[in-house]
Every structure is written in structure tokens, then in C-alpha cells.
């Protein structure tokens, strides 16, 4: 556990949980509507099956080896949400400091209560409450594309890395490895996302659950059936939502709410992500060729 570099602005309390808060209303690289939306999302989806956390975590961390993460590693989780990836990594590292600007910190605290080497703090990427060059490994999965200034946020993460430390990041992709029809379907879904994300929370959750039932689940079942036939496996990976053949319906519901309920969402091509990392001084940039796209590791010199 590291020492905080600044004093907490307040202590958040819920039941037996006390969490230090460093969030300031003056932070400008944050979209408060999106933060509120994610807080509600992770209060709804506040626990996950251990086996599923490991299975999906293996996809996100496929680029990470023992030279990047080991039992001496002190890690930082930027935008921990429910705490899924902190849970995935906990037994492989020395300690994890996990931060999130939303009320998800209470869900994460509950989900991770049996992990003694994780501390959760209420903070955003603009004011990470630790000294620069404090961490051996930093990861931010599915978070920085929800901020107004993603390149700046990447720079803030780099500041907290030690020399030769590694940064793992997942950003929504701009469908730069997909064809015309796939891209067209995405633009149609984006049109509906802009409407659905403005709905009251209860209505938004109901509509997203309906989308999970009518689109995610059938696509997953079809993909699962086709994937069982070796001849169709390469074809299956090109189908929309085929990734969900590996997940539970619980994850489909969660991701439908994430995709259609979030007010601010940006997309980046592989080339744009590489450019942002290089502009912030990262080297040894390595992209995974496997979904989810794009996740990448990079090293601070």
C-alpha cells in the first residue's frame, strides 16, 4: 500500500466501507454525466462469476507476461469500475491501488472485500493521488475513451509509471479492421445509443436489457453453434457480437448497458492509439491481434 501524495477531500461511507475521496468538482477532463451513468451501472452489475472473470481477463491480459507483472509488482487500476480486473490480477501481484471517480467504488469494495492486497480510492485520472513514478504496472481497460481528452489521460497514467514500467490499455476501436456492412450496423447502433443514453436511468436499463435479449443473446447463441463446426470458425469471428459466445447473459446485459447507456463514447483506430502513445513518450508498443479491439501494452522508457 502506497502513501497518498495529497490529502483526501472527504471520506465516503456506505455501511462498513470508508473510502478516501480525492475527486474535485474543478476537474475538467471528466464527463460528469458519464461518471454518474457508470456509477449506476456498476451498482446494478456489482458481482461476477470467478470463472468468467478469469476467462475474460485472459483475453484482456494476453499481452502481459511475468517480466511485466510478478509478485513484486505494485499496480494501479485506472477506472476500476466493479473491480473485475483488480480481482483477476490480485493473486499475481504484490499490491493494487484501484481508483474510480464514480460510486462504483462501493461496488468494487464489496466485490473485492476478500482481497487484502487491494485498496480502492475515489479519484479520477486528472488527480491520481500518488507520487509520480510510483507504479511498476498500470492498466486502464475500457475507460479512457469515455473522457473528453484521451491523450491527456494517457499522459497522466505515464507520469505515475516507474522507468521501464508497463501500461496496458483497452480503447474502443474505430472498426478499422472491419468491412462495410459491419461498420454500417455500428453506425445504426450509434444512432440509437445517442437516444437511449439520454433516457432516465430506469428506462435506460430496461431498454438495454431488451437489447441484450433481442440482439446480444441470439447473436451469441448463433455464433456459439457455428463455432462448434471447425469449418466456420474463421467466419464466426467476423460476425457482430460473436465475442459474446464466450460469455454469460449477465455479461451481455452489462455490456449492452455499457454500450448503449453511456453518454460519452469515443472510438480510435490502431494507428491513432499508437500515435497517442508515442506522443506521450511510450516505447515498445505491442497490440494484440485478438479481441477485444484494441488492447495494447506500452513501456515507459
- The strand pairing partners of 295, in sequence order, are 170
Q: What pLDDT does residue 15 have? A: 78
Q: What pLDDT does residue 231 have? A: 79
Q: What pLDDT does residue 166 have? A: 98
Q: What pLDDT does residue 24 have? A: 84
Q: How many CB atoms lie within 10 A of CB 1?
A: 12
- The strand pairing partners of 299, in sequence order, are 166, 283
- The pTM of this model reads 0.93
Q: How far apart are CA 126 and CA 23, in angstroms?
A: 9
Task: Tell me which residue of 61, 49, 95, 52 sits closest to 76, measured CA to CA.
Answer: 95
For domain 10-173+267-299, which architecture applies?
3-Layer(aba) Sandwich (3.40)
Q: What pLDDT does residue 6 have? A: 94
Q: How far apart are CA 191 and CA 83, in angstroms?
A: 30
Q: What pLDDT does residue 264 have? A: 94
Reported for 281-290, long-range contacts at CB under 8 A and 24+ positions apart, including other chains, are: 281/158, 282/158, 282/167, 286/63, 288/62, 288/63, 290/59, 290/62
Report phi then psi at 294, rounded to 5.
-100, 135
Domain ranges of the chain: 10-173+267-299, 180-261
* Environment class of 266 (CB within 10 Å of its CB; exposed 0-12, middle 13-18, buried 19+): middle
Q: How far apart are CA 229 and CA 48, in angstroms?
A: 29
pLDDT along the chain (301 residues), means of 10: 95 88 89 93 90 95 97 98 97 98 94 96 96 98 97 98 98 93 91 95 95 96 90 84 93 95 95 98 97 96 95
Amino acid at each position: 500500500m502506497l502513501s497518498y501524495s495529497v490529502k483526501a477531500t472527504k471520506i465516503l461511507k456506505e455501511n462498513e466501507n470508508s473510502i478516501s475521496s480525492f475527486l474535485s468538482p474543478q476537474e475538467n477532463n471528466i464527463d460528469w454525466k458519464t461518471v454518474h451513468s457508470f456509477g449506476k451501472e456498476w451498482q446494478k452489475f456489482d458481482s461476477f462469476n470467478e470463472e468468467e472473470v478469469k476467462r475474460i481477463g485472459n483475453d484482456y491480459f494476453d499481452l502481459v507476461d511475468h517480466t511485466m507483472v510478478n509478485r513484486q509488482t505494485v499496480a494501479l487500476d485506472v477506472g476500476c469500475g466493479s473491480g473485475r480486473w483488480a480481482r483477476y490480477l490480485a493473486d499475481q501481484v504484490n499490491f493494487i491501488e484501484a481508483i474510480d471517480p464514480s460510486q462504483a467504488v462501493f461496488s468494487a469494495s464489496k466485490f473485492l472485500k476478500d482481497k487484502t492486497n487491494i485498496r480502492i480510492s475515489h479519484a479520477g485520472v486528472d488527480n491520481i493521488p500518488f507520487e509520480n513514478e510510483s507504479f511498476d504496472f498500470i492498466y486502464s481497460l475500457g475507460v479512457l475513451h469515455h473522457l473528453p481528452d484521451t491523450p491527456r489521460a494517457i499522459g497522466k497514467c505515464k507520469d505515475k509509471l516507474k522507468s521501464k514500467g508497463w501500461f496496458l490499455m483497452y480503447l474502443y476501436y474505430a472498426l478499422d479492421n472491419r468491412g462495410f456492412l459491419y461498420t454500417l450496423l455500428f453506425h445504426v447502433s450509434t444512432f440509437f445509443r445517442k437516444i437511449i443514453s439520454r433516457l432516465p436511468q430506469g428506462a435506460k436499463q430496461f431498454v438495454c436489457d431488451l437489447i441484450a435479449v433481442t440482439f446480444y443473446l441470439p447473436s451469441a447463441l448463433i455464433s456459439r453453434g457455428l463455432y462448434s463446426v471447425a469449418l466456420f470458425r474463421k467466419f464466426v469471428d467476423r460476425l457482430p457480437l460473436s465475442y459474446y459466445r464466450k460469455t454469460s447473459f449477465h455479461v451481455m446485459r452489462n455490456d449492452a448497458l455499457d454500450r448503449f447507456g453511456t453518454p460519452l463514447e469515443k472510438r480510435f483506430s490502431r494507428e491513432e492509439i499508437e500515435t497517442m502513445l508515442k506522443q506521450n513518450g511510450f516505447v515498445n508498443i505491442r497490440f494484440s491481434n485478438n479481441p477485444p479491439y484494441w488492447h495494447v501494452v506500452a513501456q515507459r522508457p
